[in-house]
Amino acid sequence: MRIEIHPVPPQERKAKPQPSELGFGQHFTDHMFIMDYIHNKGWHKARIVPYQAITLDPAALILHYAQAVFEGLKAYHGEDGQIRLFRPDMNARRLNASAERLCMPTIDPGFFIHAVKALVDLERDWVPRAQGASLYIRPTMIATEPALGVRPALEYLFFIITSPVGAYYKEGFNPVKIMVTDRYVRAVPGGIGYTKAAANYAASLKAAQEAQAQGYSQVLWLDARERRFVEEVGTMNIFFHFKDALVTPALSGSILPGVTRDSVIQLAREWDLEAQERPITIEEVIEGLEEGRLLEVFGTGTAAVISPVGVLHYKERDYTINQGETGPLARRFFEEITGIQYGTRPDTRGWTVTVE
Ligand code: COI
């Protein structure tokens, strides 16, 4: 399918934010990608247009029954002037896995990457050059058909917006404080926890708000059945570096299969670290901390990259990890992964895709 391009005239383009103003997802670029889907016709009318509001019928199914899925990836401005994407094939596949679970149409992965590249190419001046900054890319699919019956929609919109960003957490690469909740759950077995459904994020807000009111950045979720097995943070997957192994919860169906998570596991194995994907209880984590066997905890995510955890709060107690400092393993992953993303370290695994 051809992508029609309707560029914004140069004199009408927006002013770009200063590096210090970036934050996360607060500024949007000049253009967006958009295409339509109708049952029996498939995806059509792929176009890049000026960034603009979309109009929806008040009966659009997205507004009533939450058929919405999204992705998150970034474009990085290398010191060599190249703009790179990191493993966009994984985002394409995960988008389709999410869409299938919510009875939404899939998108050809090759076309998905083509659309991302076409948009980023047009917005290349928006990819920040400041250290640690990037252009966050948010592909999103929503059900647009006006109807009130509870059933899969017959019409959809897929769009991609982009936003120049700095660090996701105000702490940057410094350790964050995380609250373990055994009061709320994010996802249940058989549910949609492994998808990037918008509804998963709505389900997480209450616990995050309560945690933030007590001074914690985010929530660490436990499993819905026993409230013992560690799952994820919601905006990132979680890793525990014990003296003898690096452990992360196995993909049980209620955890998001993160791109950075997968990259950390692959790198750990190449570095001859024992990387285990398995069920891990919060008791094992706390015991490891109390006995000095748990050296580091860190989260992984596209938005968060590698985010060291300095404090875990569980059952009225704060447990400090690595004296609240960023640990050497988190730093090593951070440097390797960002090095590949920004082109300062060799990409020997074919993880990056250049936008040209
Ligand atoms: C990401 O890491 O890209 C995410 O989607 C997490 C969050 C900002 C929703």
Q: How far apart are CA 352 and CA 356, in angstroms?
A: 13
Q: What is the mean pLDDT of residues 248-261?
A: 97
Atom of ligand 1 nearest to the CA of 260: 2
Whether the pLDDT of residue 172 is over 80: the answer is no
Q: What is the residue with the minimal CA distance to atom 6 of ligand 1?
A: 235
Whether the pLDDT of residue 197 is over 80: the answer is yes
Q: What is the pLDDT of residues 32-67, one digit of tens each?
A: 999 999 999 999 999 999 999 999 999 999 999 999
Contact of 109 with 97, CB cutoff 8 Å: no
Whether the pLDDT of residue 171 is over 90: the answer is no
Q: Which residue has the higher pLDDT, 111 or 20?
A: 111
Whether the pLDDT of residue 168 is over 80: the answer is no
Residue 245 banded pLDDT, cuts 50, 70, 90 = very high
Return the minimum-mean-pLDDT range out of 114-123, 168-177, 180-189. Answer: 168-177
Q: What is the DSSP string of 217-284?
A: SEEEEB-TTTS-BB---SSSEEEEEESS-EEE----SSS---HHHHHHHHHHHHTT--EEE---BHHH
Q: What is the pLDDT of residues 284-300, one digit of tens each?
A: 999 999 999 999 999 99
72 CB less than 6 Å from ligand 1? Answer: yes
Residue 84 banded pLDDT, cuts 50, 70, 90 = very high
pLDDT at 267: 98
pLDDT at 234: 80
Q: What percent of the chain lies above the pLDDT cut of 70? A: 100
Ligand 1 centroid to Cα of residue 9, in Å, is 31
Atom of ligand 1 nearest to the CA of 303: 2
Ligand 1 centroid to Cα of residue 105, in Å, is 22
Q: How far apart are CA 337 and CA 331, in angstroms?
A: 10
- Residue to probe by mutation, ligand 1, list 232, 235, 236, 337, most atoms within 8 Å of CB: 235
Q: What is the mean pLDDT of residues 183-192?
A: 96
Ligand 1 centroid to Cα of residue 71, in Å, is 8
Q: What is the mean pLDDT of residues 318-345?
A: 96
301 CB less than 6 Å from ligand 1? Answer: yes
Residue 109 banded pLDDT, cuts 50, 70, 90 = very high
CA–chain centroid gap for 97, Å, is 15
303 CB less than 6 Å from ligand 1? Answer: yes
Whether the pLDDT of residue 167 is over 80: the answer is no
pLDDT at 229: 98
Q: What is the mean pLDDT of residues 257-283?
A: 98
Q: What is the mean pLDDT of residues 262-276?
A: 98
Kindly list the structural domains of the chain, giving each domain's residue range(s) and its CATH number in brackets, ordered by start: 4-165 (3.30.470.10), 176-342 (3.20.10.10)
Q: What is the DSSP string of 266-284?
A: HHHHHTT--EEE---BHHH
pLDDT at 304: 87
Ligand 1 centroid to Cα of residue 236, in Å, is 7
96 CB less than 6 Å from ligand 1? Answer: no
Ligand 1 centroid to Cα of residue 302, in Å, is 6
Residue with tokens 């190419």: 121
Contact of 181 with 211, CB cutoff 8 Å: yes
Whether the pLDDT of residue 240 is over 90: the answer is yes
Q: What percent of the chain lies above the pLDDT cut of 90? A: 94
91 CB less than 6 Å from ligand 1? Answer: no
Computed over every residue of the chain, the mean pLDDT equals 96
pLDDT at 173: 81
Ligand 1 centroid to Cα of residue 224, in Å, is 22
